[in-house]
A and B are shown apart, each in its own frame.
Chain A
Amino acid sequence: MNQNTLQTKRERYLTFYLGNEQYGIAIDKIKEIIAMMKITNVPKIPSYMRGVINLRGSIIPVVDTRLRFNMEHREADMNTTIIIVEVEKVSIGSIVDRVEEVSSIDSSNLSEPPKFGNNIDTDFISCVAQIENQVVMILDVLKLFEADELLSIEQIQQKQITEGL
């Protein structure tokens, strides 16, 4: 990394917590932040998809980000928040434990995510930022909620199976 020659550019990120880990999403991908609301169950969908919500007249699918990252389920409390993310004109809600703040991160503070072997979770992390003493994992929402993500997950699993063989 030739950080000295890089033009420093500040980008703004919304940071939130899942358990003790802090994550960030680029602010321009975020449509709004709402409090936890009633989620209607939809049958026959992957367990990390919690169902759908009525966001002022539009029906929007909601993903439990904890389950998405293979973390344990946690009951909603007063800090639980739904972040409405807009990816390729599709709105998707994602449940997080607690929203922290909007912070400006200097691009020079961003670095490549560490490799954890074959763990697919790192696919969603576009980079890692250092804010004071905290490490913030910046998520790539496009990868996280790819429009045909059900299909792509199946493909990944298939690939793993075939590779495993």
Chain B
Amino acid sequence: MTKQEQVKAIFIEEAGEIIEKLDIDIIHFEENSCDFNLLNEIFRGVHTLKGNANAFGFTRLGEFVHHFEDVLDYYRSTKESIEEHNLELFVASVDVIKEIMTCELDAIDTLPESYLDCLEKIKILLAIKKNKNIPFVEELKNVSPLNDLASEFGFSCDEQVENGVEKSIQEYQAVQTEGFNLYKIDLMLDVDCYKRGFDHLLFLKNLGEMAKSIESFFNMQSIDTIDKFKSDESGISQVSIVILTPLSYDEVEEFFQFLFDNEYKITLIKPKESEKNVVSVLPVASLGHVASAATPILSNIPNIVTNKAVASVVSQKSTIRIDTFKLDELFDSIGELVIAQNFIAQNEKINLIEDESISRTIETLSKITKKIQDRVMSLRMVAIKDTFEKMQRVVRDTSKKTGKEVHLILQGEDTEIDKTMIDSLSDPLIHIMRNAIDHGLEADADERLQAGKNVAGTVTLKAFHKSGSIVISASDDGRGINKEKVLRKAIEKGVITGDENLSDSQIFALLMQPGFSTADTISDLSGRGVGLDVVKTSIEKLRGKIEIDSTEGKGTTFSIILPLTLAIIDGMLVRCGDEIYIIPTLSVVESFRPQQEIVHVLKEKGEFVSLRGQYIPVVRLSDVFNLNAKRIEPWEGILVCVETGAGRIAIMVDELVGRQQVVIKTLGKALVKLKEISGGAILGNGDIALILNVDELRPITEVTHV
């Protein structure tokens, strides 16, 4: 990958993130259109996107974003309340941005249909707004002390600029107080700087917001005559700015992100220097031929005194991108550290040294190690919140399209899921949510009212842990699934013969067969029968499964059950023979040593233990795994009662060893087919313990009676 491609890849990733964030922000904003902080946030995103897009030659994206930004900027600066239909336009615009982005990435020449339409609307809106607000614009102009720029062309001499800059530096130095820095900034802009998102006025305005005082000197000489003037090229290439601000050098430099390094020069002017020194700081050579006719345009932007709050109001998430591979490596190293630490803590020779300082140091070491381990483990885990928030958008759109009023309830947004899984969860979830609204909810309000429900439908999206898995469920309170209809359809399509005796969940599972749809009318949203089977396969790729549960008239619940590939689990350590196994604590109901009286052997059915009136099959781990362990009776060992997909089972082990948080590691491709084992974990002493997949453990009845 060349440097250019690398940068481009970063841009694409970044743009994707910005757009994703825009998507969420715009929905929030739609709900609360008075939140101008949010509008600012959106504006910033759009602005960055514009700069990046133009820098990489994505002109169509740049063009659109540019106009969108203007509109946003208008509202942002006027704080005018936004009309509903315009909000709608904003949401549509974000959609268009998404679409253009895909077009740009795939180098598709045709523009999305909505592009021109939306752009036109934005332009019209802007024109209307601008006209209505001519007084405002004029007001802005009045700020500048010199209205008539042409008159300034009269005096043109180098000293004028130099003197101007120098004079203002001296003036500022005189008033400079503790905590403020004085900078002299020289810009030497390329003609294409607008395309990279730079805008003189906006730039100075932003800079001015952070400054106590700012003064700028524009070199107007290089401006072409009106017939050669190009609106998309910068005629003013040389600008000198003197600014008094509390910002540090780096902070000031952040304002220049749209410019190339050679286009700007920031010089920190030291306070209270003698005049001579100041002059030497000024790069006279560059200034000399640069500025010949300069005009102070903005001077002393009235008292926007450095309000730190301006910068800190918006709490931006600061993030770093890290290759997951590096994280894995870090994981392994920390694992080793823990083992080494345990070795020291448990070393007999060291323990013999009865010295308080040594034992205290070892204690501290173990605390720190534990802390680091916890932190590192949490790095890969991401809250499902962002994905859930995306669903708000989906629900909103679907609700608009279908004309059904829908409330979305989110629960367990903080549930953490491995990052790699989150990425592939979004599409299946979108599909399920659309399904829930389009099919699940009743078609019209009357039907709902008759059923004694609220007119507005409710869709609940939940994430939680259950028996060692993560469950994401989407429930609607709609009409539920008509079993007869599903069966009829399935027979019609030849999926089943109709002779089978199917359980409810088996019937519902038919819905996820390829090419199966019970919708009477095929809608734009769902019902084409290419949906749920795709959802099913993509969830199966994550080694998860989908379960459907439905009560007719009450609603339907889709549950996505995902394994915790890399999640940290709380495990119960058990010993069987010479081996240590781990049972996920989440699935453990209880563990006990049974009395002989409650253990029953049923012929050809194996062993059962009767527990509070329930007969639970006993699974001998040593039999399942063919371990060469001494055969013991259940009342000599320990039964660990666990909840599985197929009901409770009692796993028989030799003894309980302890409880520990462990990281699941895969056993590698060659061993992945072992269904009974979901992975391995490294224990404190460096040994490996295998983690049981309790859902796949079945009592071996054949073995017992053979």
Contact = CB atoms under 8 A, between A and B. Distances in A.
For this complex, into which size category does the number of interface residues on chain A fall?
Answer: 20 to 34
B579 A40 contact: yes
Interface stretch (B62-70, B291-299, B356-364, B662-670): B662-670
Given A59-B666, A61-B671, A150-B673, A43 B688 contact: no
Contact of B626 (A43, A59, A147): A43
Query: How many interface residues does chain B have, given as a range?
Result: 20 to 34
Given A59-B682, A147-B669, A147-B670, 19 more contacts: A41-B578, A41-B579, A43-B625, A44-B674, A49-B670, A52-B680, A53-B688, A56-B336, A57-B331, A57-B335, A57-B336, A58-B665, A59-B665, A59-B666, A59-B667, A60-B668, A61-B667, A90-B670, A92-B668
B670 A61 contact: yes
A42 interface: yes
A31 B333 CA distance: 17
A54 B676 contact: no
28 contacts: A40-B689, A40-B690, A41-B578, A43-B627, A43-B677, A44-B674, A45-B674, A49-B670, A49-B671, A52-B667, A52-B668, A53-B688, A54-B686, A54-B687, A56-B335, A56-B336, A57-B332, A57-B333, A57-B336, A57-B682, A59-B667, A59-B682, A90-B668, A90-B669, A91-B668, A92-B668, A147-B670, A148-B669
B624 interface: yes
Nearest to B624: A43
A38 interface: yes
Contacts of B669: 90, 147-148
Interface string A83-102: 00000001110000000000
A149 interface: yes
A149 B331 contact: no
Nearest to A151: B673
Contacts, number: 80
Nearest to B665: A59
A90 B585 CA distance: 30
A52 B688 contact: yes
- Interface majority SS (helix, strand, loop, mixed), chain B: mixed
Interface of A: 38, 40-45, 49, 52-54, 56-61, 90-92, 145, 147-150
Nearest to A41: B579
Nearest to B333: A57
A50 to B, nearest CB: 12
Nearest to B679: A59
Nearest to B674: A44
Residue in A43, A91, A92 whose Cβ sees the most chain B Cβ within 10 Å: A43
* 6 pairs of A and B residues whose beta carbons are closest in the complex: A57-B332, A43-B625, A57-B335, A40-B688, A59-B680, A59-B665
A84 to B, nearest CB: 12
Contacts of A91: 668
A43 B671 CA distance: 10
Interface in B252-293: none
A61 B668 CA distance: 7
Q: Which of B579, B669, B682 is packed against the most chain A CB atoms within 10 Å?
A: B669
Contacts of B578: 41
B687 A38 contact: yes
A42 B670 contact: no
Nearest to A44: B674
Given A52-B680, A92-B670, A147-B669, A59 B688 contact: yes
Contacts of B670: 49, 61, 90, 92, 145, 147-150
A45 B667 CA distance: 12
Nearest to A40: B688
Contacts of A54: 682, 686-688
Residue among B336, B680, B682, B688 with max Cβ neighbours from chain A (10 Å): B688
